[in-house]
Structure 1
Amino acid sequence: MVRWVPFGLVSLVWLVLIGRRLRQRRFWRAGWWLGCWALSALTWTPVALSFGSAMQLGQLPTHWWANGVWVVRPFAPGDLDASFWLNIVMTVPQGALLAINWPQLRWSQWVYVGLAVGLTLESGQALGNALVSLGRWVDINDILTNGLGVVLGALAVTGYRHWRTRLG
């Protein structure tokens, strides 16, 4: 039960931020914070799903540190399993919300925000492992794929806006 405490505390923060934006009638901004909550639900709960095969997991160079498994070498053999691609897909909506809420951002800033999202998610997992033995893997590939998902989501919204503008 104690393993759920970090997610519960973070959920309270997200609830406050979502509530404030809804009261301000800033629905897209509330959607951003709701997306943050969804990402933390996917990554900071003690429910870990594996989409890799046993053979692939055996190929990964891992390290045990601070009550968790760490993958620190990017793109090692066995990395390109379903979870690799799902880490991109799960952050695409956050990237779309980034472009909707902050349309003035440039593509380089999307990259920074994407990396910050990935670092935040993996840091939360590392902290959860250290404090309450969360049981989550901390993986450099997740930082990179989460960042790519954010960039792709922002690119999709920006591309759609340009396409719509050209149509008149």
Structure 2
Amino acid sequence: MVRWIPFIGVSLLWAILSLRDWHQRRYRRIWWWLGCWGLNALTWTPVAITLGSSVGQIQTFWIAGGTWVIWPLQPASVDLSFWLNIVMTIPQGVIWQYNHSQHRWRQWLLAGLATGLTLESGQAIFNWLVGLGRWVDINDVLTNCTGVIIGAACMLLLQRHYQVLK
């Protein structure tokens, strides 16, 4: 049960932030908080799903109560979970661009890096504090960042085509 505390605590934080924005009629921002909550549900719960068939071929390190992958793009690490990490953050990129239509690729890059680093840092911290049992993987930072950039670029194209989305 203790391993669920990080997710429960963060869920309460996202609920408070969403309610605050609801009361201040900032409805677009609520989507951002809901997206953050969804990403946290996928990454900060003690339920780990391995979709790779060659996990044993990835060079890992045991650091602070968790498994770390610090060498990016090892051939065995480019598996289904690699691509799904991109897909899972595309909606955050769409929401980012929807909320900040004047922003472009530099801000997308920063938002993507912040998303990936936050998720992986949270996994590292919670591995250390409560034994979350999640991998801390540099590839996830790269793929999460890529997903945010792809989502924001797609939304920009939609905004240019349909002026009402701004």
The TM-score bracket by the shorter chain reads over 0.9
* Secondary structure of 1:64 counterpart: strand
- The C-alpha deviation readout for 1:31-67, integer Å capped at 9, x for no partner, is 00010011011100101111111xx111101000111
Q: Report the RMSD for the aligned CA atoms in angstroms.
A: 0.9
Aligned residue in 2 for 1:113: 111
Structure 1 residue 26: deviation in Å? Answer: 2.2
Matched, 1:70 2:68: yes
Distance in structure 1 (CA, Å) of the matches to 2:26 and 2:18: 9
What amino acid is aligned across from residue 122 of structure 2 in structure 1?
G
* Secondary structure of 2:77 counterpart: coil
What amino acid is aligned across from residue 13 of structure 2 in structure 1?
V
Aligned residue in 2 for 1:86: 84
Structure 1 residue 135: deviation in Å? Answer: 0.2
Distance in structure 2 (CA, Å) of the matches to 1:161 and 1:10: 32
Aligned residue in 2 for 1:138: 136
Distance in structure 1 (CA, Å) of the matches to 2:47 and 2:62: 19
- The C-alpha deviation readout for 1:65-108, integer Å capped at 9, x for no partner, is 11100000000120111100000000000000000011111211
Distance in structure 2 (CA, Å) of the matches to 1:38 and 1:88: 14
Distance in structure 1 (CA, Å) of the matches to 2:162 and 2:29: 22
What amino acid is aligned across from residue 14 of structure 2 in structure 1?
W
Aligned residue in 1 for 2:159: 161
Structure 1 residue 114: deviation in Å? Answer: 0.1
The percentage of aligned residue pairs carrying the same residue is: 57
Structure 1 residue 6: deviation in Å? Answer: 1.1
Distance in structure 1 (CA, Å) of the matches to 2:111 and 2:73: 21
* Secondary structure of 2:25 counterpart: coil
In structure 1, the gaps of 5 or more residues are none
Structure 1 residue 7: deviation in Å? Answer: 1.0
Distance in structure 2 (CA, Å) of the matches to 1:42 and 1:164: 32
* Secondary structure of 1:90 counterpart: helix
Aligned residue in 1 for 2:95: 97
* Secondary structure of 2:81 counterpart: helix
Structure 1 residue 158: deviation in Å? Answer: 0.2
In structure 2, the gaps of 5 or more residues are none
- The count of residues paired between Structure 1 and Structure 2 equals 163
